[in-house]
Structure 1
Amino acid sequence: MNPPLLTIRDLRKSFGKTEVLKSVDLDVGRGEVVAVIGPSGSGKTTLLRCINFLEAYDGGSIRIDDSEVGYNDARKRRGERALARMRAETGMVFQSFNLFPHLTAAGNIMLGLTKVRRKSRSEARDIAKVWLERVGLGHKADALPSELSGGQQQRVGIARAVAMEPKILLLDEITSALDPELVGEVLEVVRGLAAEGMTMLMVTHEIAFARDASSRLVFMADGAVAAEGPPADLIASAEANPRLNSFLARFRASNF
């Protein structure tokens, strides 16, 4: 069996006296799509931010391809250049888009390619055009974020992350800030990436999508992994886990 791409062991993170992550263990294999679900405040977003080292973690280990995230072997924080290179391997898409408002759609994608991947501007522009076409926005290359809908901005965010050729894509509630009619266009892009074998770890409240698009569901509660397994199996066995069953009950009316 191949070793996992992402290995998390005994991960701990607190904000002040509040313990947000409590000894989290999680593996993600190459080409696997793992969806993290759970109630608000269960630590889902903090988990992603620790993997991308947007939050320094207090204890435990996060390794990607056997390289410790954020720290060197002496447990000292890596320098900013090393962190930038590391973050390029863990592409993150945020719920609030986080596009640079003064840059065009293409410019947002080109920035990391030129600054971190050291591509020439012409090469970066070509890559940006390819990915904008892939997400259905080839005609919006020169548009500013203010000229795009929320769904279009989020698709640019996905293109920006994937253009860096990350080893794993981290998706943080990428549809939560969108109007309902725009959700489908973003989820369709994610489905396409999954079909192409992109390794993804996504936090989502779209339970039906998580069930259909992921190879494994992870249920978090109170800062820990409370249950995990293949989507159909985990949902079918929910009655044996009162916390999971209670969480899923609110979605059953929509026939997820």
Structure 2
Amino acid sequence: MMDEHEITLRAELADAFRICHALGWSESVGNHFSAALDPDGKVFLLNPRWQHFATISPEDLLTLNSGDPSVMTRDNAPDASAWCIHGTIHRRLPSARVVLHVHSPYATALACLEDPTLWPIDNNTARFFGRVAYDLHFGGIADALEEGERIAGALSDKSVLVMGNHGVTVAGPTVADAFEDLYFFERAAQTLMLAYAAGRPLAVLEDKVARDTAEGWVAYRGMAARHFNHLRTAYGLANNAG
């Protein structure tokens, strides 16, 4: 029987899928979100293979153990790339409680630049100063063990991984926190890509100013739960916890 923690986590993760679809960040029946259930992160929830974000409900989520290689031989095996990325991250990085991977438009466009650095040029871009990792070794569909190991190693203790020629992966302590970083990273990438489109030099903030801005955002962490719950209500989701 599920405990209250798992019931709540399933509801929040299911709603995150639906919200991301409503925001235009889903891609056919691909991309994946996961959330750790146990303290060491090895047992985790993951969306089923090839189920559209807009249709995912709490009971649809798979319960997987990242230490169990037989997962991929079962009838309800997850998508190979999801197992490769999320399974490895949860096995290697217990602090990554919630992992969201999408190909959102602006984050993906940024990831396709020769230099995808998220330069701090405003509040939202500076929010991520010192918190972004980059993996520029795209090798096609990430479904091989070495790909997962490399991706987890690149993410390490950062909150965001820009995956060159691919997309973005965000890790956070809760669904709301991870979603908030995903939301603001997409906004930050949009601002930077629009600034690049102007064809004029960027006014990049000094490191100290960017660092102070990033640290200043810490006091606003409570925004994440408020924003996430607002979106759950705004989109009339059945899993809304109120």
- TM bin, normalised by shorter chain, reads under 0.3
TM-score (ref. length: structure 2): 0.26
Greater percentage in strand = 1
Structure with more contact order per residue of length (Cα contacts < 8 Å, sep ≥ 6): 1
TM-score (ref. length: structure 1): 0.25
If you compute each CA radius of gyration, which structure gives the higher value, 1 or 2? Answer: 1
Greater percentage in helix = 2
